[in-house]
Each structure stands twice: as C-alpha cells, then as structure tokens.
Structure 1
Amino acid sequence: MEKFENMNAKICDLYKPTLSQDDVLNAYGKWSEGGKYDKELPLGVYNGPRYAAEAVNMYIPNKDARIIDVAAGTGKVAEELQKLGFMNLDALDPSTRMLKIAREKQLYKNHIPAFILETGTPILDDEYDGLVTSGGMGDGHIPPKAMHEMARVVKPGGVICLVMREEFLTSAESYKSNALEHEMLDMEKRKIWIQIARNVVQGYVVNRTGVVFAFKVL
C-alpha cells in the first residue's frame, strides 16, 4: 500500500495548476529516462491504457480506422490497441523524449511533438476516424477548451475516447465547478458531438477510480 501511495503522490505532483508547460515537459522527460516511466507504471498499476483501448474497440469497429493518440507518451495506449488489431495509429505528445521511446517501439506511423490546446494543433480538420487519450486530462495538462480541437480533427461520425482519473473532475483547479463536464455538455448542446458513454472504472491508476468518456462527432 505504501508503494502505491508513493506512486500516487509522484503522479499528483505532475498535475498542478502552478506547473508551466516547460515544467510538465521536463518532469515527463526526466521520468522517461532509462525506461523508468514504463517500469513504474505497468499494467496493474496503471490500467488507463487498457480501458482506453477497450473503449476504442467497443465504439470503433473498423480495425483499419485512423486513430490519433493524444498525450501518447511512450505509447502505452498504442500497445493495448495493437493487441486488439488497431495498427493505423499516430501519436501526439509535447515530450520529444517520451515520443523517442514510442518511436523506438514502432507503434505509430507519425509522431507529432505538440500540446493539444484551445487552438493551433498542427493537424488538419477531419483528419482522423478516432481520437483517444489516457492520462492527459488534469491540471497542467489538457484544458477543457482543447476538446474543441479534438472534435475538429476527427471526422463527423468519428469517436473520441477520453479516459482519466475520476477525482480530477472535481479536484482539478482547471476543472473547478465541474468545468470539464460542463464544457462537454455545452459541446453537445452546440451539436459538436454527442456523448455515447460515461463509465466509472476501478483501478484506473494506483487503485484510484477512473472514468471513460466516449463521444461521437457530429
């Protein structure tokens, strides 16, 4: 239990509103050195990638679908997607050091070194059949308005799967007053997407619950 709590504290240190983009990049880059990130967050400790891949498999039946993995890191989600037969994958992550590890694993066709923010993501409109992210939502990471960029790069009829720690929905400063789910609802009211799933899952990371969202782009 102490080991889990220590890992939980380490993870939470990365999700703070006071962290700059450079702080986040440096922290993840340092953690990835020598394969530490992958060794310290195997399946069983961090199950978000498996939940994310299962959601994609459930809502995107076409195994040839072109999918962008946002906040891809070292490729944990892609590893799980490939087990299910998805091979047409691209990665987007701001950490070039983490993307280097993913590139060495030969998981993705393209590697895009960028944050996904409210605007300016270097991807064309309607480029992908699906989008997935696990662990990318929270303070210092993906802001609520960035979900508009997610919807922009996915074709109408495509699916977006967001997997995150459940407690961040209310504890994250950048999501205060339930801002993230309010933005999701507002996007549905504006006919940008429609929510097709919201499932709470156990053991998302270090025994914490997670939530799996799925949306169909309109």
Structure 2
Amino acid sequence: MASVSEPPPYGKYKDINADDTPSRFNKCMSDDLNIQERVAHYDAWAKTYDEDMKSYGFTGPEIAVEYLKRYFKNTNATFLDCGAGTGLLGVYTKELGYTNFHALDASSVALEKAKSREAYTNFIQEFITTGKLSIESGVYDGLVCCGCFVPGHLEPDCVEDWCRIVKPGGIVIIVMNQRWLSKEPSYNEGKLEGAFQKRVDEGKWELIVREQRDGYFVNDVAEVFVFRVK
C-alpha cells in the first residue's frame, strides 16, 4: 500500500476509461438505476469493491486524509465520513490515530465491511439527499466526502444539510473526480460549483482552498474543495 505522501506507481494500474472497465464500475453510475437498485448494486459489489478500486489506482482516500491532517491536528475531534462505503478512508484515519470517525452510507453490506476495519465509532445507514439527515445540528467538527459526487449519486444541494450538522468553525472536505464538473449534467455548467457558492453567498460556509491533484485514478485529476462552516 502506498503511503499517503507517495504517488501511486501508475504503471501497475488500469485505466478506468479503457474498454475493459468492469461492468460494476460502469453500472454504479448508470442512469438506468433507481435509488433502491443502486443500493442493491453496492450491496452486491461490497465484497470486491476494495480490490476493484485498488486495481484502478483510486487514491481519493489518501488525498482526503492529507487535507484532514492539514486542517485537523486534534485526532479526538468528531468527523463524519459521508458516503463511507466499505470504509476505505477509515484505513488511513485509523493509521493516523483519529479516534472518533462516524460512517454514513446507504448500503448496509458496505457498512458491515467498514465495521470490520475497527476505524469508526458509529454507523449510520441513510441516504444522502437534498433533505435533512437524521443527525442533530452541530454534531460534527468535520465532514469528509470522498468520491461521492459522481453520476447518479449526490445532488448538488445536499451540501445544505452539511452546513447544519457541522459545528461553526468546522471543516468540510470534498474530494471528487474533476471530469464530472464538466461532463456530468447534474454538475456541469457551474451547477455543482454554484451550489457551493450559494452557501458562501448565504454566509453558511467559506471556501478555504480549492486545489487539483493528479492521479485520482490513473489518468484523472482530483478536484478538492475545503470549506469552513460559519
């Protein structure tokens, strides 16, 4: 496993845009799936998800934890891994000594795998929607969302509730594939960035940093947003 400070050895990985991309990878972003079918797809995929993502050089969790280290020195702070899946982010937070991470995901099977990592202290099975989560206001010191802004998944306005559940002064870290900012109809032409900016204009959060990182997948770039909740 590459350390969080080392770039992956790209030559050993496959290109997710190649013709041999696994059907499960493509299907998870299909417009043909409704919410229940998409969750069922992840339930079935959970067994091999980690290995599949590793084979395509997915470095989202490593990138996310770098920003977590940068902005949160307190390893006892309470965080939400929003869209935690099988808990890939937990692998790195556990190594770095973060002790109070909660995992939220719609797939119960994926959450069971996340539990096996012994990196999270609470598990929430729930959809991330544009409405309110069951979580009380001002619970978290920080929230990390890694790899969930993809076709067929999160709507831009879901971030409204993130401003509610994160404490004033808390940090929201978003790591996503840059390609979807221009290629995904739900996000392109400034839709996703506009949803982020709307909360800035309303005084709900402020943008601290926006950066790009190579190697999100072997031939893709990560777009990283970090906001401070007001």
- Superposed CA offset, 1:79-113 (max 9, x none): 11122221210000000010011112222111100
Assess if the C-alpha contact under 8 Å between 1:17 and 1:173 holds in 2.
no
1:201 aligns with 2:200: no
Deviant stretches of 4+, over 6 Å: none
Distance (Å, rounded) in 2 between the aligned partners of 1:63 and 1:7? 37
Distance (Å, rounded) in 1 between the aligned partners of 2:34 and 2:188? 19
2:36 is matched with which residue? 22
1:13 is matched with which residue? 27
Give the CA deviation at 1:32. 1.2
Give the CA deviation at 1:211. 0.8
- Which of 42, 46, 51 aligns to 2:54? It is 42
Give the CA deviation at 1:18. 4.0
Give the CA deviation at 1:44. 7.2
2:3 is matched with which residue? none
Change (3 A) 1:7 1:52: farther
Q: Which has the higher contact order (CA 8 A, sep 6+)?
A: 1
1:86 is matched with which residue? 98
Distance (Å, rounded) in 2 between the aligned partners of 1:105 and 1:143? 29
Give the stretch that moved more between structures: 41-50 or 95-104.
41-50
Q: What is the TM-score with the length of structure 1 in the denominator?
A: 0.92
Give the CA deviation at 1:23. 2.2
2:197 is matched with which residue? 185
Give the stretch that moved more between structures: 36-45 or 46-55.
36-45
Give the CA deviation at 1:50. 0.5
1:216 is matched with which residue? 228
1:72 is matched with which residue? 84
Assess if the C-alpha contact under 8 Å between 2:149 and 2:176 holds in 1.
yes
1:56 is matched with which residue? 68
CA RMSD of aligned residues (A): 1.9
Give the CA deviation at 1:19. 2.7
Q: What is the TM-score with the length of structure 2 in the denominator?
A: 0.88
1:132 aligns with 2:144: yes
Assess if the C-alpha contact under 8 Å between 1:8 and 1:206 holds in 2.
no
Distance (Å, rounded) in 1 between the aligned partners of 2:32 and 2:65? 31
Distance (Å, rounded) in 2 between the aligned partners of 1:210 and 1:50? 11
Assess if the C-alpha contact under 8 Å between 2:81 and 2:145 holds in 1.
yes
Q: Where in structure 2 are the equivalents of 1:147-166 lying within 5 Å?
A: 147-166=159-178
Q: Where in structure 2 are the equivalents of 1:91-110 lying within 5 Å?
A: 91-110=103-122
SS in structure 2 opposite 1:65? coil
Give the CA deviation at 1:14. 1.8
1:122 aligns with 2:127: no
SS in structure 2 opposite 1:80? helix
Assess if the C-alpha contact under 8 Å between 1:79 and 1:107 holds in 2.
yes
SS in structure 2 opposite 1:112? strand
Distance (Å, rounded) in 1 between the aligned partners of 2:24 and 2:209? 30
Q: Give ranges in structure 1 of 5+ residues lacking alignment.
A: none
Give the stretch that moved more between structures: 70-79 or 15-24.
15-24
1:32 aligns with 2:58: no
Give the stretch that moved more between structures: 127-136 or 7-16.
7-16
The one-letter code of the counterpart of 1:138 is V
